[in-house]
Structures are given as structure tokens and as C-alpha cells.
Amino acid sequence: MIRFMNNVKTALLLGGLMGLFLLVGGAMGGKGGLLIALVLGGLTNVVAFLFSDKIAIAAMQGREVDERTGGDLYAMVKELAPRAGVPMPRVYICPQEAPNAFATGPWPSRGAVAVTQGALRLLDHEEMRGVMAHELAHIRNRDTLTSTIAATVAGILAYLAQMSLWIGMPRDSEGRGSPLALVAVILAPLAAMLIQMAISRSREYVADADAAEIAGTPHGLISALTKLDGYSRRIPMRNPNPAQNNLFIVEPLCGSSLAGMFATHPPTEKRIAALRKLA
């Protein structure tokens, strides 16, 4: 039931995000602006759909490993992938000391999982198994695509708001500015950001529950989340793009106070409490 409710919540939030997108497009340019917003949104989502995995892995300087070079990590993913019902994903190791992991890829057949060196050193076998099960759950549920679309639409709304500062607000036949357009341009990007983060939080709960099923127990993930949350608060992530924070299993510390104002993940203690109920 919890998984179903979170899926419904995600669908409603995505609908609200697209509604904001159309509202801003219509307010800024009437039917013409609405059409431009639809075309722009469609094109940017296609680009994000095709290249999101490459962008995320390149930003983290991920190095792909195979059966020979990936050791226990690769063998673990190979064992868990059939349990998750997904094709074997590509496996990457990232040089960052901040312990974390993420999944990416526009669809399961092009999925990828990545782990930082810090996480490999910090987590034991069962904890890493829980983390990899969590990332495979994201791939199975196509959460990477959902997050990419949400981030793209929110980014376009922010761009439209910035663009309006340069080209000016639309005016009626008497030269008066449109109050609706002003409100839409000012508030829509903030609302879109909040919706994007709410989507990310709802998907984390679903991935946690599915990870317990894939791994066969929630205990490894519970222990891993406790460790990752504690260490991530102290070790900054060398990640050049805070917009990718929602990809990680725990929200990384990026050294930016503004980035910390908007959480992309639920509180770790609430995630652990939900997992303990499954145990």
C-alpha cells in the first residue's frame, strides 16, 4: 500500500509540474507561448532522456569496471540484477572520498550503477548489498527517467524566469503588464523546485522498500544508511553539479549552504524507521 501511494503521489506531482510548465508558457505568450513551452519541454526531455546517464557519470569521473576489474562489487551486482528483474547494468567506480552511490540510465537496458571509493572502503559486504539493491530498484522503477524529466522541467522554468528579465513581461493592448504572468514567472520556478524534490523523496521510500525485497532483508540497507548519512555530513562531495543530488542514495554535502536549504531526500531516520517496519 505504501509503495502504491508513493507511485500515485509521484504521478500527481509530475502532472502538477507539467501544469506549472504550461501555465508559465501560456502566461508569457498566450497560445504561442504555450506551444513554445510544449515544444521546448519536449525537446529538452528527449535530450535528457538520451544523455542523462553519460552526463551524470562524466560529472562524477566514473570508471567502468567489468568481471575482471570489478571484483566483489561487480559479482554482487551480477547476482542481484536477476533478483531485481533488470538486465545487468554497467558498473562504475568514482574516485570521490565522500561515501555514496547512485543509479542512472534512461531505461533498464541502459542502466548503470556507480559507487564512490569512499563507500567501498566504508561499507561491509551486506551493507553494500543493500545499497546496490536500492540502486537496482531505482533502475527497475525507472526513477532515473522520472527524476531527469522533473529536473529538466524545473530547469526550463528557471530559465524562462531568467529570460523574462531580459525580454520583459508580456503586455496587453493598452501597454499594461500581465499580473498572472508576473506571478507565474516569480513563483513557478520555486514551486517546480519544491515539486521536483517531493518527487525525489517519494521515490526514495519506494526504492528502499524494493531494496529490502531484492536483497532479502532490510538490515544491510539500514546499517548502510546509518553509516552513509553520518559520513556524508562530514565529507563534501566533489560533484560539480548540485542538481544531480537527487541521484545519490543519501544527499551529499556539497559545501553550499543554499543547496542544503532544499532537501532532495527524506530524513534518513524516517527511511530507517520505514525499513525497520519491514523487518
Q: Indicate which residues carry an active-site annotation.
A: 135
Any residues with CB less than 8 A from the CB of 77 and at least 6 apart, and which?
Answer: 70, 88, 89, 91, 113, 132, 136
Instruction: Report which DSSP code applies to 64.
Output: E
**Cell digits for 245?**
543530488
**Cell digits for 36?**
513554445
Element containing residue 250 per DSSP (H, E): none
Element containing residue 63 per DSSP (H, E): strand 63-65
The alpha-carbon radius of gyration of the chain (Å, integer) is: 20
Instruction: List 94's β-bridge partners, or say none.
Output: 116
CB 72 within 8 Å of CB 115? no
**Cell digits for 75?**
559479482
What CA–CA distance (Å, rounded) separates 35 from 20? 14
For 123-135, give the DSSP string: --HHHHHHHHHHH
Please name the amino acid found at residue 124: D
Work out the number of other CB atoms within 10 angstroms of the CB of residue 209.
Answer: 22
